[in-house]
Amino acid sequence: MFRLQGSKVLAVEMTGDAVKAKNGSMVAYDGQMAFKKLSGGGEGIRGMVTRRITGEQMTVMEVRGQGTCWFADRASEINLVGLQGDKLFVESSNLLATDGGLRTGTSFTGLRGASQGNGLFTTTVEGHGQAAITSDGPAVVLRVSPQFPLSVDPGAYIAHQGNLRQSFQSGVTFRTLMGEGGGEAFQIRFEGDGLVYVQPSERNTIAGDV
């Protein structure tokens, strides 16, 4: 039911069911739609507490209705991700829409988040269904297998899924401290089995300045 119309507009066909989408991302609809505000970080009291603690305060709306609803966000590229019971980790600012049946929550990212300037927590999406994530420029999907680990620039990382361990890698040396570093002092290293989504652009990060 998720369909891309061009690379920057998401069309969702709905027959009485619901999707969750980033607040204010609807650009057009036909048929009958109702928009209701939700909040990120999971549902219920526990979600509310997590949101308070984690600062991962995405505002989400629930869209329910009959017809087609079109979503877009600041002309950024949209990527569709299929989930079959696995978990997607994504920065809340890159999450555009998810099937109503998918559960969203937050997870601790450790040092990586701090280096990205995105906080210590990230959003998780879990269950069976589709999610749409945005990227600055067309994203590539890189496969990680036990033989082939991957290191990614924190500013270019947008999401990952599968059974992956992530660690924070630093190449900070005496030269870096002297201001003669290569400009690539920090990476996130992924090991295991899964997919990593990388955008052809680098957000401003604390790490990027080193």
Partner 1 sequence: MTFRELNSKMVEATVAPGQRLFSQRGAMLAYRGEVSFTPNMSGGQGGIMSMIGRRVANEATPLMTVEGSGTVLFGHGGHHVQVISLAGDTLYVEADRLLAFEGTLEQGTMFMGSQGGVMGMVRGQVTGQGLFTTTLKGHGAVAVMAHGGVIELPITPQRPVHVDPQAYVAHHGDVRNKLSTALGWRDMVGRGSGEAFQLELSGNGAVYVQASEEKL
Residues that bind partner 1 in the complex, under the rule CB under 8 A = 5-9, 23-31, 33-37, 59, 61-62, 70, 72-76
Tell me how far, at minimum, the Cβ of 144 lies from partner 1, in Å: 31
Q: By C-beta, is 37 or 84 nearer to partner 1?
A: 37
Beta strands in 72-120 (DSSP E): 77-90, 95-99, 103-108
Nearest alpha-carbon partner for 197 in 131, 140, 121: 140
Identity of residue 158: I
Give residue for tokens 């601790």: 108
Q: By C-beta, is 75 or 206 nearer to partner 1?
A: 75
Tell me how far, at minimum, the Cβ of 167 lies from partner 1, in Å: 36
Q: For residues 105 and 85, give the distance between their C-alpha atoms in angstroms, rounded to a whole number.
A: 15
Q: By C-beta, is 6 or 183 nearer to partner 1?
A: 6
Are 206 and 155 a contacting pair, CB within 8 Å? no
Tell me how far, at minimum, the Cβ of 43 lies from partner 1, in Å: 16
Tell me how far, at minimum, the Cβ of 15 lies from partner 1, in Å: 15
Q: By C-beta, is 45 or 74 nearer to partner 1?
A: 74
The tokens describing 135, both together, are: 């990227």
Q: For residues 193 and 188, give the distance between their C-alpha atoms in angstroms, rounded to a whole number.
A: 15
